[in-house]
A and B are shown apart, each in its own frame.
Chain A
């Protein structure tokens, strides 16, 4: 088994202290369940009061923070934008574009930080206030790291401008540097400083710069040797600082809030044209000198050091461990991938590290009632395993409202996830049937293309009709269109309703033909034939002859078919006898009506007036 850097972290669950019991565990869709149990199955219960509590544990609770939600939403926009413009990024402008994306991400972090800071200040003395404060420092650290990565990996600042960027970087993050620069600027050589660093638009080459700096440095040195500042220890100390004397710099430790500030100051005064590749040497020594053996480096220090060493993978790894959610590493890695900086690592769960991290981040989003929609986009942009991940997650989204269900369905339909569509529609159809909303159930089963369920719902409709004498959800049935073909029963339902419509419009001949065809084409279930024949009665009783002789013969045949197939009851009880009685009366009535109609139709057809 592979070694792991450091011990896996332990999460303690509050519970009864017990040696005899174990912990039972299961996964929910977005969380974990733990409870106390005893796995040693014995038959009889010991009636020992076990701990009745079940704890629900979740990762990624950051997803529920209202302020962070803005971070997630806005960074999602930047992410999607980046994926879309990828093809257009070429040549020189590419780098500029990528830097701009990086700055966008950082400004989003900063905005979030500001807002959280407001809350922290407003709520200073409470636990939530403290929590906000700690979140602010975490966000600040994230911005610090991102900024450095931008300078080193995305901007790829060369020697010369590199130091300027680093100066800006430190200035942005450390307010105290202003105090120091005020000191410096108050010295004898401010003009030399300013003109020296007038770099934007500067046409000097690096060599020229180095020469000039060398010259100036030597001049400073001479002043120090000559004792020019001997009269004022402060000025002398300042001169030493300007010469990049480590000891002198360290004396100002209170003004330097941290080692990277110290590093930049050192570089400014001793190695202004430092090459990117040499940074790590100065970084390491700065860290060592600054800490002075009194304390050990913290996670943030290690991350920055890894960046100075240009070890991108180490940066990502350390960030993954130190930060509580995947947001940071997912977005940063994606951006670095666009800069073509990551070698592809083949992982079991993601064809490369970028996909792995993005999908981990997306997983957390799916647990949220509205942020899940963001998760969809992240999956979309993971060509290898995004789709499967999406399929697994999308089915677990609780369909609390019709609106939400429709949104989820649209997502699935747009991506041709037919299995998921079917599954979700079936779930909704089932729910509708249980709540007696048959129309809704029918439309869901049609959408699911689920013939079996459509048959079930159609049967319910027909049963309802038999019991109540009318249809519900007429609109739906009337407008089935080609969907009617989904199942035989559904077709029958549609046609039967059409029959009623024709009858209502007094188009009796058409209605009659339709009614007959429903039986002869076998679309109507046998159990319904009696109802259909009963429906024929009013048509038979009309003043005009509606059913032709031929049709009447057909009806008679159907009736005989129906009655002959009826089995004789062995021991009819009272109820049965009564039902039989009704049946017999109905049949007799039908026979009579049919016979009368037959007579009339024969006469009509046989007479000179024709039809």
Chain B
């Protein structure tokens, strides 16, 4: 049974662009064209406004929660070309850092796996991707990839951390050498995979071509213990592709068309155990997809915007076994 268990009245004065649950599902962050970022406590079906964060000078496009081991940290990006990192200290939220290294709207922010430390990737309409790394004592180091995508970058998504070889406990706390990778999607219709080299510079490792129009979102699936890596991408061309790479070196990616929609597809997102992909599109619907027995992707549910005032919970059609 799928039912609405809570409706949070955010009181945003303008369009909401993003809403994100924290790690535990206890807090909700929202951002809006009204330039604010709000944080709500939603435990036990309640809704308590915890913070109303002002600092952006334009519509705020996305918010992202960092891993709780770093404390309560939230990143937001906006049309005002800025990325702001907010932190909760002694019960109050305040601006911890502001990054203004972009020449136009910053469209997407994504925190790296916590194993790498506190690193934020930001994609902007100026075509560049910047990576902010927290180095301690309130300092953030910036690395910028210029011209990552011509015309603009719309989305960034990190690959899950892969523990290289055997991990031996180092008492002095020396960090193991992770191979850091992330994916980005842009207005050049491409998806690019980036890898951090030994010298700390980021290099373009792969170009994934299949879309015929702007790539609007990319989402790297969480690792479920299989050797394959999976990325979902969606585009202005109405298509959603599932990219898989089977070999360990990560060199050959093959796309599978999930579906061709009749309208722009804006957003793709994986559930935490990576078994359901949610696709939100221009046709007012959110569809949920699962991979079935023989490797085909099947739509299991439609979440649709209601026309009336009554919400009817409909028994959800679940995975078909064959």
Contacts and interface: CB of A to CB of B under 8 A. Distances in A.
B52 interface: no
Interface in A353-408: 353, 356, 359-360, 363, 367, 385, 387-389, 392-393, 395-399
Interface in A521-547: none
Highest count of chain B CB atoms <10 Å: which of A325, A347, A450: A347
Interface residues of B, number: 111
Interface residues of A, number: 101
Interface in A401-437: 418-419, 423, 426-427, 430, 434
B281 interface: yes
B15 A22 contact: no
Interface string B57-85: 01101000001111100000001000000
Nearest to A363: B273
Contacts of A434: 71, 89-90
B264 A39 contact: yes
A32 B278 contact: yes
B23 A396 contact: yes
Q: Is the interface of B mostly helix, strand, loop or mixed?
A: loop
A396 B321 contact: no
Contact of B306 (A15, A320, A423): A15
Contacts of B280: 22-25
B128 to A, nearest CB: 18
B315 A52 contact: no
Contact of B3 (A5, A46, A58, A449): A58
B33 interface: yes
Nearest to B33: A45
Given A9-B302, A313-B322, A61 B1 contact: yes
A545 B1 CA distance: 82
A41 B90 contact: no
Contacts of A23: 280, 284-286, 303-305
Interface string A504-531: 0000000000000000000000000000
Interface in B284-322: 284-288, 291-322
A313 B321 CA distance: 7
B203 interface: no
A24 B19 contact: yes
B20 A26 contact: yes
Interface string B1-45: 111111111111111111111011110101011100000001000
Contact of B303 (A25, A46, A387): A25
Given A353-B321, A430-B70, A45 B14 contact: yes
Interface in A53-81: 53-62
Contacts of A24: 16-19, 267, 280
B307 A4 contact: no
B303 A2 contact: no
B47 to A, nearest CB: 9
A396 B300 CA distance: 25
Interface stretch (B94-102, B167-175, B190-198): B167-175
B10 A2 contact: no
Interface in A174-215: none
A22 B314 contact: no
Contact of B25 (A1, A29, A389, A399): A29
A52 B16 contact: yes
Contact of A452 (B163, B173, B319): B173
B39 to A, nearest CB: 12
A398 B24 CA distance: 5
B207 interface: no
Given A55-B7, A398-B24, A430-B68, A349 B224 contact: yes
A345 interface: yes
B317 A8 contact: yes
Given A26-B19, A50-B15, A387-B225, A56 B6 contact: yes
Given A1-B296, A12-B305, 13 more contacts: A5-B320, A13-B305, A14-B4, A14-B306, A25-B286, A33-B28, A48-B15, A50-B14, A53-B10, A54-B28, A57-B2, A320-B318, A388-B225
28 contacts: A2-B297, A9-B301, A9-B316, A14-B306, A14-B308, A14-B309, A24-B16, A24-B19, A24-B267, A33-B19, A33-B28, A35-B19, A43-B79, A46-B15, A50-B32, A52-B13, A53-B9, A56-B4, A61-B3, A61-B5, A317-B320, A321-B318, A419-B115, A427-B69, A430-B68, A434-B71, A449-B171, A451-B170
